[in-house]
Structure 1
Amino acid sequence: MSASKFDSQKAPEPVGVYPHARKVGNLLFLSGVGPRKRGSKEIPGVELDKDGNIVSYSIEEQCHAVFNNIKYILEEAGSDWSKLIDVTVFLTNMKADFATYNKIYAEYFTENQPCRTTVEVLSLPTPIAIELKCIATID
């Protein structure tokens, strides 16, 4: 079974050597996607000190940004939000951020409700508080 890769022109560039997504059969597997803005290191809602450490952040702004980045990848690869079937969410502060993230997640998934796993991690590769890994169908 062949696999083809997709790289979005709207989502932030990967921080390593991997594609935004790969299509295998009728499934689209997305690499981990964060809230960064394409073409910069800017992270919505994040304030860093001169050494790059997080001073403050808004999980709300990061949630909206990461969901938009997921939409960009899905649409450019030929899928869409309604075809998501599995979402793994990584949070760096479950205690502080889960309730807000869960509320915003529910706003985006009113009709399509994919399987979901949410885990807390110590850190992510960039100074972000949330990252998503998704699987969707594609025609």
Structure 2
Amino acid sequence: MSQEERIDSKRAPEPVGLYPHARRVGNLLFLSGVGPRERGTKKIPGVELDAQGNIASYDIEAQCHSVFRNVRYILEEAGSSWDRLVDVTVYLTNMKADFPIYNRLWAEYFKDNPPCRTTLEINALPTPIAIELKCIATIGD
């Protein structure tokens, strides 16, 4: 296997720009930002849009489950795994309302081997989502 390799998942949602799902460099796997969208559709679990395509309402718990699932898809297809995540940067669009729910779910998903984590509130994401993860994992020996 090459020391540097592009990874494009067949299960995670298609990127919204010109970038891979992940790139392997040595024994590290760098994931591009991953959101909760579903592959092959514009559907975002837990999100209701208004006529202009803006978020009318959303369920952060549904989005968290979906984004964690999408990260897992990319990790597994790249030859890594959930327990090999070492660093995660989380972007939330509403820290005050969403952080308690996201933090509770994080504790459930990572109860055995939590990676390092940074959580930031940002004004918006490129698609009408409320959470996005940027991850680094180990891969190989």
**Which TM class, normalised by the smaller chain length?**
over 0.9
Aligned to 1:137: 138
After TM superposition, the score normalised by the length of structure 2 is 0.97
Aligned to 1:99: 100
Aligned to 2:47: 46
| 2:128 equivalent to 1:117 | no
Unaligned runs of 5+ in 1: none
Q: How far apart, CA to CA, are the structure 2 residues paired with 1:111 and 1:2? A: 30
After TM superposition, the score normalised by the length of structure 1 is 0.98
- Cα displacement string for residues 28-60 of structure 1 (whole angstroms, at most 9, x for unaligned residues): 000000000000100000000111011100000
Aligned to 2:71: 70
Query: How many angstroms does 1:27 deviate by?
Result: 0.1
Amino acid at match of 2:41: S
CA RMSD, Structure 1 to Structure 2 (Å): 0.9
| 2:20 equivalent to 1:36 | no
Aligned pairs, number: 139
Unaligned runs of 5+ in 2: none
Q: How far apart, CA to CA, are the structure 1 residues paired with 2:53 and 2:111? A: 36
Large movers: runs of 4+ above 6 Å? none
Amino acid at match of 1:121: I
